[in-house]
Every structure is written in C-alpha cells, then in structure tokens.
C-alpha cells in the first residue's frame, strides 16, 4: 500500500501569504509543505503537495491519488462551495479524506457555509490557520494506519 499523503489545494491558494493575510495569514504554501513534510516523514509517511487553479486538474490529481496516495488532505478553496465534480472524484477514492479551511468559513459569508466535499470527508478542519494542514496530516496518518 502507498504511504504517501496527498495535500491538494484549489484556486488562489498559490497566493497564500500574499492574499488577504488578515484572513489567511502570512505563511506561504511552501511553508505549509515544509512543515507537513517534516511531520509526515516523522510519522513514517511521504508527502506530495499540489495546487491548481483549474478544477479539471484538481480532479485529475484526485484520480492519480487513487493509485499513489494512502489519504488526501484537501483545501478545495472556492470549489468547496460549487464543485459536485470534485465530490464525485473524491467518492472514487478509497482512502481517508480530510477537508481543511484555513479560515473559519462558518464565520464568513453564507455562501461559504455549504461544502460539497464535506459529504465525503472523514473530518473537516476550519479556522485553525495553516496549522489545520498539520492536524489533518496527523489524522490521515492515524486513519491510514488502521487500513
């Protein structure tokens, strides 16, 4: 079985650290990747972090994960609230899925309160800032060890 955890990020998350830092903080996606890789490797897992602004590329990467990942951490960005196609792709993935939002989406506009991805996710983390990714990696490691 693969021992690689995938961290998938949707649109605009390439701008993490620069985009609305009062909401998303000053850490970059490269910082998230370094912290999560160190954590995952300490737990005996590999890590791959992806980001795309294109829905189809996120879906293709979820398909790739079917063969190469033991679990998926996903921050789908705004696709969270719109994409049945990403939900369908995650439903075709067998391992654990944890959904992450850097901000507390429930404290924000009502259109951010609904998530298609939550219908599939084993857990949802919102509002912990970029530390949420590390909490999600820890949880995937626990769940993947059970399978």
Q: Is 140 helix (H, G, I), strand (E, B) or coil?
A: helix
The contact mask relative to ligand DQA for 70-109 (x = CB under 6 A, - = no) is -----x-xx-x--------------------xxx-x----
Size of the site for ligand DQA (CB under 6 A): 10
DSSP state of 85: H
Q: How far is the CB of 145 from ligand DQA (least distance, A)?
A: 27
Q: DSSP string spanning 31-76?
A: HHHHHHHHHHHHTT-EEEEEE-S-HHHHHHHHHHHHHH-SEEEEE-
- Decide: 117 and 86 in contact? Cβ < 8 Å: yes
If binding is defined by CB under 6 A, does position 112 make contact with ligand DQA? yes
Catalytic sites, residue numbers? 24, 101
Site for ligand DQA in 5-34 (CB under 6 A): 12
Q: How far is the CB of 50 from ligand DQA (least distance, A)?
A: 15
Q: How far is the CB of 103 from ligand DQA (least distance, A)?
A: 4
- Decide: 122 and 98 in contact? Cβ < 8 Å: yes
DSSP state of 122: S
Binding residues for ligand DQA, rule: CB under 6 A, are 12, 75, 77-78, 80, 101-103, 105, 112
């Amino acid at each position: 079985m693969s021992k690689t955890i995938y961290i998938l990020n949707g649109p605009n998350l390439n701008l993490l650290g620069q985009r609305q830092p009062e909401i998303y903080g000053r850490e970059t996606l490269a910082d998230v990747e370094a912290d999560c890789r160190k954590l995952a490797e300490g737990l005996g897992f590999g890590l791959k972090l992806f980001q795309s602004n294109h829905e189809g590329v996120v879906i293709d990467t979820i398909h790739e994960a079917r063969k190469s990942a033991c679990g998926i951490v996903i921050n789908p960005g705004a696709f969270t609230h719109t994409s049945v196609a990403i939900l369908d792709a995650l439903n075709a993935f067998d391992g654990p899925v944890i959904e992450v939002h850097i901000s507390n989406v429930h404290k924000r506009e009502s259109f951010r309160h609904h998530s298609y991805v939550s219908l599939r996710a084993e857990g949802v983390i919102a509002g912990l800032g970029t530390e949420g990714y590390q909490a999600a990696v820890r949880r995937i490691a626990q769940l993947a060890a059970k399978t």
